[in-house]
Structure 1
Amino acid sequence: MQFDTTTSSSWQFGHRGRVAVFIDGNNLFHAARFHNIDIDYNKLLRVLLGDGRLLRAFFYTGVDVGAERQQGFLLWMRRNGFRVVQKELKTFYDGTRKANLDVEIAVDMLSLAGRYDTAVLVSGDEDFVYAVNAVAYKGCRVEVAGFRSNTAPRLIDVADFFIDLGDIADLIRKDSNQTGEYDVPSFIPAGEMVATDSPRHEGYVRGGRPAAPARPFSDDERDQMDDMVRVSDER
């Protein structure tokens, strides 16, 4: 299905009512990077909300308590209406560092079911198939948003509607000429903050194609991140 990119709501159908948005931050980051898209999260939220009424928008991500630069983005998200749910990265025996927030996303989707009419899950992770079905059985509409090539087919199948972000990339992409104090910052997962040759940066986005390898930060990106302020760790 091709979306009409002249309007943010032309692809929607049916009554969407109260909308809750659940964004799997790390999954979306890797999928967007694979497609060379830097996402404007204000634009993304407007498109996903469409003609519905926003109940709450959640953003889930792993954090490194020592990575001060990531906190500026999370502060910006909080100040722009997102509920940030974060978990500290854990180091595993093989040296990989990750934070799995699948349980938090599933629990929030289920606990709020009934308070919203439509849930929009932004993720390509096949692990959410059961949660999507459980929410649907409670009588809520469930939409899945993601890049088709990076989204598990089973997740697409169980959703009431699939929003291919690749088809609406122009509606959610950051403006290339953004300058100034109120720019939308770019999300960088905590695990991407330190340049490394570890194979974990060349893995798969679960349920999709391989993510692009991590690239070194440019001088401009480093300067921008250094200017970000530190905020306290909170859920």
Structure 2
Amino acid sequence: MVVSHPGQRVGVLADAQNLYHTARSLHTRNIDYEALLDEAVNDRALTRAIAYVIRANSPDEESFFEALEDIGFETRIKDIKTFGDGSKKADWDVGMSLDAVSLAPHVDTVVLITGDGDFARLCRYLRHEGVKVETMGFEESTAEELVEAADHFRNLSDDAEQYLL
């Protein structure tokens, strides 16, 4: 159960790449980021909302980035890197973690919207610093260590229709 009050300061960090791939693979649909942000904030005081996205030069991605900003997210954009062997890489693990640590003194709660188990250590650190940590993700693709490391996990699959377009 999430204990919240209207004065509680919340920071929301959304791993858009993780969410996109999960929603596409599980439901062949896209995420409703407005519904996601509303659920994450849950009538509390939003301090900052940041969405971490990858620029892959695909059609409509710029309008997607603008839509995120219209909803209330700041966007952090990273270009996808292509290596000599043709492999590609782009992730925001370090950037999200640094933002969470920087934001921690200014919030009561950090909501991480991701299923990536790499953030379990970040959860433990934030909790040690006195920050409540909530995570949101689709249970089928959320690492168990992330669920265990957070104070609360919101399974988006419990009401997938609410969070999908």
Fold shared per TM-score above 0.5: yes
CA drift at 1:38: 2.5
Partner of 2:120: 129
Q: Secondary structure at the match of 2:162?
A: helix
Aligned residue number for residue 13 of structure 2? 22
TM-score after normalising by structure 2: 0.91
* Unpaired segments ≥5 residues, structure 1: 1-10, 175-235
Distance in 2 (CA, whole Å) between partners of 1:88 and 1:173 is 25
Q: Contact conserved, 1:26 with 1:61, CA < 8 A, in 2?
A: yes
1:87–1:99 CA contact under 8 A, matched in 2? yes
Partner of 1:42: 34
Runs of 4+ in 1 over 4 A off after TM superposition: none
- Residue 148 of structure 1 corresponds to 139
SS across alignment from 1:168? helix
Deviation at 1:74, TM superposition (A): 0.3
Q: How far, CA to CA, are the matches of 1:153 and 1:67 in structure 2? A: 32
The equivalent residue for 2:55 is: 63
Identical-pair percentage: 36
Q: Which residue of 2 aligns with 1:12?
A: 2
The structure having more radius of gyration, on CA atoms, is: 1
| Partners of 2:19 and 2:31 within 8 A in 1 | no
Amino acid corresponding to residue 52 of structure 1 in structure 2:
R
Contact persistence 1:47–1:172 (CA under 8 A): no
Q: 1:137 Cα shift?
A: 1.1
Distance 2:115 2:84 in 1: 27
Shift of 1:80: 2.2
Match of 2:76 among 85, 89, 92: 85
CA contact 2:113–2:135 (8 Å) conserved in 1: yes
Q: With structure 1 as the length reference, what TM-score do the two structures score?
A: 0.65
Partners of 1:40 and 1:172 within 8 A in 2? yes
Letter in 2 for 1:156: V
| Letter paired with 1:117 | D
Count the aligned residue pairs. Answer: 163
CA–CA separation in structure 2 for the residues paired with 1:133 and 1:70: 33
Name the Cα RMSD after superposition.
Answer: 1.6
- Does 2:126 align with 1:157? no
Q: Which has the higher strand share?
A: 2
Rounded to whole Å, the distance in 2 between the matches of 1:73 and 1:43 is 15
Match of 1:75 in 2: 66
Which amino acid is 2:109 matched to?
T
1:174-185 → structure 2 map (5 Å cutoff):
174=165
Structure showing the higher helix proportion among its residues: 2
